[in-house]
Structure 1
Amino acid sequence: MQDLTAGLSTFSFDCGLTEDQEELLSLRARSAALSICGCAHAVFWCQLAHSLRGLINRHTTQRVALASERDSDLRVGILGLGHTGKQLLLCLLEKTDTKPSHIKISTRRPETAAEFAQSGVECYFDNGRLAAWADVLFLCCLPSHLPKVCASLHSHLPPRCLIYSFLSAVPVTRLARLLGHSFVLKPQYDFSACDRADMWPAHGQLITALNDPLLIEASCPLSVSGGISLGASWVYAVLYSLLNICTSASLGSRDALALINSLFLLKEPNTVEFNAQSYVNASYASALMPDEPFPWITLTDAQTKETPLSRFLSRSKSVQEAISAAYKALLEKKEMRDWGMDK
């Protein structure tokens, strides 16, 4: 029988990659890095929000006889169950305290979620219903579907619902306009070739990757390495979103700051704490009463403009280190009570 591959150098055992082919390897590393970092950072936000709501609930219970479980448990919606949506769902179930019963999915093919439904995750096709229910709604749809998705959400989004976008090609300002909603968070990643970029595709399963100390360190939001970088505006928006959670609960400014500081262990000796001027300008801060909630912060402004928080964080090394420590503790599954997070 004649060997059809005879004489074809690319099918030879010792054939290496051409220069053009080697350049494509960076795309593989980029895709893996974006998946790992995107899910890890979303998981971090969810655990912070979940823990803060628990702290608020316990704080409120001290003054009110009854506080409902509904008020404390974070309700997570995922819109779209393609590759990104499934990876995110697996990470949320594995790495956060969010219960399966507090995760709902809207997808055009609900039958693809049968394996998750058995664990208590509800799946249907109704974007408006999902938006009205969720505290955070992850957009995991294709960019080409965005106009229809935004139209289906428009009249259903309550102000307190955070939209967290995985759509890399759509700027946060455009997304906010399409949704008619200002509580939008979108990480901005940049990738450049480097000697350490080959660390990212080392794992076939994303969950396995998020258990690797090397990748946990490399994906740390304030010091992302391995050829990928995350805009600091994401960190600012995360911190402002936590403040908005306190405002939504009608928590006074003094109590809001105390709980956020405890979340990151900022009451330790020799650490700088968040204060009113960390979040708002000096004149507003000076007039803010301890029992008065902070104003609602527009996250699109927090991600596109200089703010008191961006100035505060850029010069507060101890706060940066505390945020990094909390991130690593979460992904390494250390005892979360040590970080002000309720298990």
Structure 2
Amino acid sequence: MVDLTAHLNSFSFEAGLTEEEKEFIHLRSRAAGLTFCGCAHAVFLCKLVQSLRCIIRGQPANRASLASKEDRDLCVGILGMGHVGKQLLRSLLEKSGIKPSHMKISSRRPESTVEFIHTGVECFFNNSRLAAWADILFLCCLPSHLPKVCAELHSHLSKHCLVYSFCSAVPVTRLAQLLGHDFILKPKYEYVTSDAADVWLSCTHINTALRDPLLMEASCPVSMRGGISLDLNWVCAVLYSLLNICTSAGLGSSAALSLINSVLKGKESHTVDLNTHNFISASYASTLLPDMPCPWISLTDAQIKETPLQCFLSSDKYLQQCISAAYKSLLQSPPK
């Protein structure tokens, strides 16, 4: 069906706005861009973690040392079904490859979950239960609800549950205090109005947008465009989270780095060669034998302090290209 109003300026969104109101039009692209980037980066994380866990689980030498929660498909929980929670769930269902039976939602508004019941995703209102079950827990609640939510989660989170916060107004250090937990990821986006920001206005439907190569390019974590930027410490924290997963599985440092390098290798000829000196201090790395696990890394510290990985990533253009290639490859590849 042809849109008869497509080229009629009098029917455009801007036509009914006053000059004063037009000054805020950039907020449309800002909201669309931040939502898209947040969902795309969350999917990227889940696909990395899922890939790594599958490789670990598939190696016979590792099976005996795996805990019961590690020897299963990735389980993802979403706490909160407002606008962000819904967009995130749509993105995960479309792109992550995670089975709907391995996703659960906790929402205090059951009417907000009705559209997802047919997908096979379990919906309930029990934050403690969700925390005890999930391997990755996405916090999509309002900042004003966070103290109460964290009190409900506090004693139910396992050390190895990766908490991912979309609560922009609450810094990661405060969240760590509220949860008594240090395995937390929180992206820190910055937005600057620019002509290039119009690229985000095509993000009307998240699932369609996630198939757009231009948006994949613009949202790439190490080379973002469209007026939105992301602190490189987030990328480093993602890599540290993969290292922690290997540590919790009892893998030696040599095997852990080998698996992480293989997960980051895209379809193209980009070969990643990260080593222990890139992740931890040179003095500690020099004492670490290949069969000894790497130390557990606090993701809170990794996001607020200068780390060896942050120093290396910020200066190594080849590694940035490798991560960019892995991002596009994972998001553009069909879910398995």
Same fold by TM (over 0.5)?
yes
Q: Tell me the amino acid that sits aligned with residue 307 of structure 1.
A: T
2:7 is aligned to none
Aligned length: 325
Aligned to 2:36: 36
- Which segment is superposed worse, 74-83 or 109-118? 109-118
CA deviation after TM superposition for structure 1 residue 286, in Å = 0.8
Structure 1 segment 65-104 matched on structure 2, within 5 A: 71-104=71-104
Give per-residue Cα distances to partners, 1:4-24, cap 9 Å, x unaligned. Answer: xxxxxx99x996754422220
Give the counterpart letter for 1:117 in structure 2.
I
Aligned to 1:215: 215
Q: Which segments of structure 1 move beyond 3 Å, counting only runs of 4 or more?
A: 13-19, 62-70, 268-272
Q: Structure 1 residue 110: deviation in Å?
A: 3.1
Report the more deviating stretch, 219-228 or 193-202: 193-202
The letter for the 2-side match of 1:115 is: E
Question: Could you tell me how far apart the structure 1 residues matched to 2:15 and 2:159 are?
Answer: 58
Partner of 2:316: 316
1:258 is matched with 258
Q: How far off its partner does 1:115 sit? A: 3.4
Partners of 2:291 and 2:171 in 1: CA distance: 36
- Normalised by the length of structure 1, the TM-score is 0.89
Specify the alignment match of 1:244 in structure 2.
244
**Offset of residue 302 of structure 1:** 0.4
Distance 1:50 1:14 in 2: 43
- Aligned-residue RMSD, C-alpha: 2.5
The DSSP-based 3-state class of the residue aligned with 1:144 is: helix
Q: Shift of residue 265 of structure 1?
A: 2.0
Contact 1:138 / 1:166 at 8 angstroms: preserved in 2?
Answer: yes
Q: Does 1:142 align with 2:138?
A: no
Q: Greater Rg, structure 1 or structure 2?
A: 1
Alignment of 1:13-32 (within 5 A): 17-32=17-32
> 3-state DSSP class of the match of 1:287?
coil
1:52-94 Cα offsets, whole Å, 9 max, x none, are 00011112x2465797796141110100111111111111011
Is 1:154–1:180's contact at 8 Å kept on the other side of the alignment?
Answer: yes
Q: Aligned residue for 2:161?
A: 161
Write the deviation string for residues 119-161 of structure 1: whole angstroms up to 9, x where unpaired: 2211111111110111110000011111110111111111101
- Identity, in percent, stands at 62
Equivalent residue for 2:6? Answer: none
Query: Which residue does 1:195 correspond to in 2?
Result: 195
Deviation at 1:117, TM superposition (A): 2.7
CA distance in 2, matches of 1:220, 1:206: 16
Secondary structure at the counterpart of residue 159 of structure 1: coil
Aligned partners of 1:28 and 1:248: how far apart in 2?
42
For 1:281-331, what per-residue CA distance to the aligned partner results, in whole angstroms no more than 9, with x for missing partners? 011101111111111100011000100111121222221111111111122
Q: Distance in 2 between matches of 1:304 and 1:167?
A: 17
Listed as ranges, the gaps of 5+ residues in structure 2 are: 1-9
User: Are the aligned partners of 2:81 and 2:140 in contact in 1 as well (CA < 8 Å)?
Assistant: yes
Separation in structure 2 between the aligned mates of residue 183 and residue 275 of structure 1, nearest angstrom: 22
Counterpart of 1:129 in structure 2 is 129
Query: Aligned equivalents of 1:23 and 1:260: distance in 2?
Result: 46
Q: Check whether the contact 2:14–2:22 (CA below 8 A) recurs between aligned residues.
A: no
Q: Deviation of residue 201 (structure 1)?
A: 1.7
Distance 1:183 1:14 in 2: 44
Seen in structure 2, the aligned counterparts of structure 1 residues 17 and 46 have a Cα distance that, compared at 3 Å, is same
Give the conservation status (yes or no) of the 8 Å contact 2:159–2:181. Answer: yes
Show the counterpart of 2:56: 56
The code of the aligned residue for 1:304 comes to: I
Relative to structure 1, the CA distance from residue 285 to residue 109 in structure 2 (aligned partners, 3 Å threshold; closer, same or farther) is: same
State how far apart, in whole Å, the 2-side matches of 1:100 and 1:37 are: 22
Amino acid aligned to 1:211:
R
Give structure 1 stretches of 5+ with no counterpart. 1-9, 337-342
CA–CA distance in structure 2, aligned partners of residues 63 and 197 of structure 1: 46
C-alpha displacement at 1:106, in angstroms? 0.7
